């Protein structure tokens, strides 16, 4: 049976991937490598690991070359799906170094181990972000896979650097790599530092909802299950060395997302509090995912209006989860 190494599955997207995709693929074994940083919460996946004989969890850091190499020496790895990253833009503005260490050097460790110690036809799928493309003006066409890379934050710069390394391993060593770039995800198990879970949590607790600038920045929102399905379709069907964009078809101003949440939880707009804008705050992201549609037969299934209802409901039902991740910080 083939074994896939999944990194970062105690975090938001990885945990959802484990629960909605990996759990149903009994043709593979999955090794899950996660350092359990502040953003990785083992209880989120504890039951999945305990009840699935195809899953094996290893607590370890991708920055540690020995840890990564040992896994590849002990098990024949035929695929890598690489979620692990420092992922919060605000943290990258305060402490950029760890973003380079994890996102760039950690990815390099995985690439080297996969190239030297993995199965000869190993497939390496690197999860990236639309933020590597930089920002759009209101009237600009959406990002496509050939849009030049122009990151604005230390986070997006570190992701762009790792994307370029991944690409170079295809160009130089003919390694079978793929890069996926997705817009803003939302859904269950997202750490409450990110916009949607933070706003839901604060609204539920009658706390102020801090909004950067005038709140008119635009993001495209995708329900996390749709992103996970896209990643899996890319892993199964994507062409070697290619980049695939995923988006949710839901461009919205931040302030409108926040007002929608307040409505859902029945709280007043007076909770909104405008704060000083984020440094280097990108104005707009929008994604053209025609390539994924055509080559992977993928498109997002969840409308924002449905996804946000499910998400708000989940956070209301799982207050203990959010309290436990906050306590861990
Ligand atoms: N959240 C989004 O909206 C979004 C959008 C597009 C792309 N992405 C990308 O998707 C991936 C997953 O994002 P997320 O939102 O789930 O992130 P997250 O911050 O919720 O989770 C990151 C996970 O990686 C683990 N990790 C961090 N550093 C590590 C290290 N050095 N070694 C091993 N494990 C480590 C953490 O413990 C955590 O489990 C990231 O690569 C991110 O750049 C995220």
Show me where the domains of the chain are located.
2-190+222-249+282-302
CB-CB contact of 192 with 201 (8 Å):
yes
| Helices 319-328 and 42-51, packing angle to 10 deg | 120
Q: How far is the CA of 34 from the centre of ligand 1 (A)?
A: 10
Q: How far is the CA of 104 from the centre of ligand 1 (A)?
A: 13
The C-alpha atoms of residue 140 and residue 158 are separated, in whole angstroms, by 24
Atom of ligand 1 nearest to the CA of 191: 20
The DSSP code sequence of 21-71 is TGGG-TTEEEEEEE---TT--HHHHHHHHHH-TTEEEEE--TT-HHHHHHH
Q: Which amino acid residue places its CA nearest to atom 28 of ligand 1?
A: 85
Asked whether residue 284 carries a pLDDT value surpassing 90, the answer given is: yes
CB-CB contact of 99 with 155 (8 Å):
yes
CB-CB contact of 296 with 237 (8 Å):
yes
When pLDDT is cut at 50, 70 and 90, the band that residue 329 belongs to is low
Instruction: Please compute the mean of the pLDDT values over residues 174-190 and round it to a whole number.
Output: 98
Q: Which two tokens stand for residue 238?
A: 């994507």
**pLDDT number for residue 280:** 87
Show the DSSP H helices in the chain as ranges: 12-20, 42-51, 65-74, 89-94, 97-99, 107-117, 154-173, 195-204, 224-237, 254-265, 290-296, 304-317, 319-328
Q: How far is the CA of 11 from the centre of ligand 1 (A)?
A: 6
Residue range 224-258, pLDDT digits in tens? 999 999 999 999 999 999 999 999 999 999 999 99
Instruction: Please compute the mean of the pLDDT values over residues 148-169 and round it to a whole number.
Output: 98
User: What is residue 75's DSSP assignment?
Assistant: S
Atom of ligand 1 nearest to the CA of 37: 37
**pLDDT number for residue 212:** 93
Q: How far is the CA of 293 from the centre of ligand 1 (A)?
A: 25
Atom of ligand 1 nearest to the CA of 194: 1
CB-CB contact of 312 with 265 (8 Å):
yes
Mean pLDDT of the chain: 96
Residue range 2-56, pLDDT digits in tens? 999 999 999 999 999 999 999 999 999 999 999 999 999 999 999 999 999 999 9
Ligand 1 in reach of 106 Cβ (< 6 A): yes
Atom of ligand 1 nearest to the CA of 87: 19
When pLDDT is cut at 50, 70 and 90, the band that residue 156 belongs to is very high
Ligand 1 in reach of 40 Cβ (< 6 A): yes
Ligand 1 in reach of 176 Cβ (< 6 A): no
CATH for 2-190+222-249+282-302 (1.10.3980.10, 2.60.120.10, 3.40.50.720, 3.40.720.10): 3.40.50.720
Beta bridge partners of 34: 59
Q: How far is the CA of 267 from the centre of ligand 1 (A)?
A: 31
Beta bridge partners of 7: 33, 82
The C-alpha atoms of residue 250 and residue 320 are separated, in whole angstroms, by 30
CB-CB contact of 20 with 64 (8 Å):
no
Residue range 129-150, pLDDT digits in tens? 999 999 999 999 999 999 999 9
Q: Count other Cβ atoms within 10 Å, centred on residue 86.
A: 24
CB-CB contact of 284 with 136 (8 Å):
yes
Kindly report whether the global pTM for this prediction surpasses the value 0.75: yes
Residue range 59-107, pLDDT digits in tens? 999 999 999 999 999 999 999 999 999 999 999 999 999 999 999 999 9
Instruction: Please compute the mean of the pLDDT values over residues 201-226 and round it to a whole number.
Output: 96
Q: H or E stretch including 212? A: strand 209-212
Ligand 1 in reach of 224 Cβ (< 6 A): no
User: What is residue 243's DSSP assignment?
Assistant: E
Q: How far is the CA of 268 from the centre of ligand 1 (A)?
A: 32
Nearest C-alpha neighbor of 302 from the set 196, 186, 189, 192: 186
**pLDDT number for residue 247:** 98
The C-alpha atoms of residue 25 and residue 34 are separated, in whole angstroms, by 20
244 CB-near residues (< 8 Å, 6+ apart): 145, 178, 179, 180, 181, 230, 234, 238, 289, 291, 292, 295, 296
| Percent over 90 (pLDDT), the chain | 96
CB-CB contact of 189 with 325 (8 Å):
no
Ligand 1 in reach of 39 Cβ (< 6 A): yes
CB-CB contact of 280 with 152 (8 Å):
yes
Atom of ligand 1 nearest to the CA of 159: 43
When pLDDT is cut at 50, 70 and 90, the band that residue 277 belongs to is confident
Catalytic residues, by residue number, are 130-131, 155
150 CB-near residues (< 8 Å, 6+ apart): 133, 134
| Helices 42-51 and 12-20, packing angle to 10 deg | 20
When pLDDT is cut at 50, 70 and 90, the band that residue 326 belongs to is confident
Ligand 1 in reach of 10 Cβ (< 6 A): yes
Instruction: Please compute the mean of the pLDDT values over residues 202-225 and round it to a whole number.
Output: 96
Ligand 1 in reach of 83 Cβ (< 6 A): yes
Nearest C-alpha neighbor of 134 from the set 143, 146, 123, 121: 143
């Amino acid at each position: 049976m083939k074994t896939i190494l999944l990194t970062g599955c105690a975090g938001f997207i990885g945990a959802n991937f484990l629960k909605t995709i990996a759990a149903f693929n009994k043709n593979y074994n999955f090794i899950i490598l996660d350092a359990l940083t502040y953003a990785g919460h083992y209880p989120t996946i504890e039951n999945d690991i305990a009840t699935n004989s195809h899953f094996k969890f290893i607590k370890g850091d991708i920055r540690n070359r020995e840890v990564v190499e040992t896994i590849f020496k002990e098990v024949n790895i035929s695929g890598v799906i690489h979620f692990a990253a420092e992922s919060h833009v605000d943290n990258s503005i305060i402490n950029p170094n760890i973003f380079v260490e994890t996102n760039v050097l950690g990815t390099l460790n995985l690439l080297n181990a996969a190239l030297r110690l993995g199965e000869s036809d190993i497939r390496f799928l690197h999860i990236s972000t639309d933020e590597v493309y930089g920002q759009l003006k209101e009237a600009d066409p959406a990002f496509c896979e050939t849009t030049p890379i122009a990151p604005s934050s230390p986070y997006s710069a570190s992701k762009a650097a790792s994307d370029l390394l991944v690409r170079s391993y295809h160009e130089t060593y003919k390694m079978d790599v793929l890069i996926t770039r997705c817009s803003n995800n939302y859904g269950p198990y997202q750490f409450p530092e990110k916009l949607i879970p933070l706003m839901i949590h604060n609204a539920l607790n009658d706390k102020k909802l801090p909004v950067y600038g005038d709140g008119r920045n635009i993001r495209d929102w995708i329900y996390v299950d749709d992103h996970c399905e896209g990643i899996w379709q890319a892993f199964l069907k994507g062409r070697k060395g290619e980049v695939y964009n995923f988006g949710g078809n839901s461009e919205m101003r931040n302030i409108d997302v926040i007002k929608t949440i307040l409505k859902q939880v029945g709280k007043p707009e007076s909770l909104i509090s405008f704060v000083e804008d984020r440094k280097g705050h990108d104005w707009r992201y929008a994604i053209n995912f025609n390539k994924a549609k055509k080559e992977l037969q993928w498109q997002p299934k969840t409308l924002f209006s449905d996804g946000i209802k499910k998400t708000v409901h989940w956070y209301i039902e799982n207050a203990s989860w959010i309290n436990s991740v906050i306590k861990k910080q």
